Amino acid sequence: MERESFLSPKSIALRGTLLLTVVAGSLFATAENQTSAQDDKAAQSFAVDMDPAASPANTPTSVGTREVCARINNNMILDADEDDIDGIDLDVTAEDIPEISKMIAFSFKINYPSPGLVITEKNTEGLLSTTPNYSKFDVSPHLPDFDGSYTVSVVDVSTNGAFGSGYLTGFKLKTTENTAQGNFGIVLSEAAHIDQNNEVWEPKKLENGVVAINEDCGASPLITPSSTETPAPGNSTNKPLELPSTGGQVKKLNPRFGLLSALGGVFLISSGIKLIRKSRI
* CATH number for the domain formed by residue range(s) 9-280: 2.60.40.680
Q: In one letter, which amino acid is 136? A: K
Query: Residue 278: is it exposed, middle or buried by C-beta count within 10 angstroms (0-12/13-18/19+)?
Result: exposed
Residues in the chain: 281
Instruction: State the Cα–Cα distance between residues 76 and 269, nearest whole angstrom.
Output: 44
* Tens digits of residue pLDDT in 64-91: 999 999 999 999 999 999 999 999 999 9
Instruction: State the Cα–Cα distance between residues 43 and 164, nearest whole angstrom.
Output: 9
- Residues paired with residue 62 on neighbouring β-strands, in sequence order: 59
What is the three-class DSSP state of 277? helix
* Tens digits of residue pLDDT in 38-65: 358 999 999 999 999 999 999 999 999 9
Handedness of CA 244, 250, 254, 256 (dihedral sign): positive
What one-character DSSP code corresponds to residue 254?
A: -
Q: How many CB atoms lie within 10 A of CB 141?
A: 13
What is the three-class DSSP state of 250? strand
- Residues paired with residue 118 on neighbouring β-strands, in sequence order: 174
Q: Tell me the domain boundaries of the chain.
A: 9-280
* Tens digits of residue pLDDT in 222-250: 999 876 544 433 333 333 333 222 233 33
**Higher pLDDT, residue 172 or 258:** 172
- Residues paired with residue 170 on neighbouring β-strands, in sequence order: 91, 123
What is the three-class DSSP state of 237? coil
**Higher pLDDT, residue 31 or 81:** 81
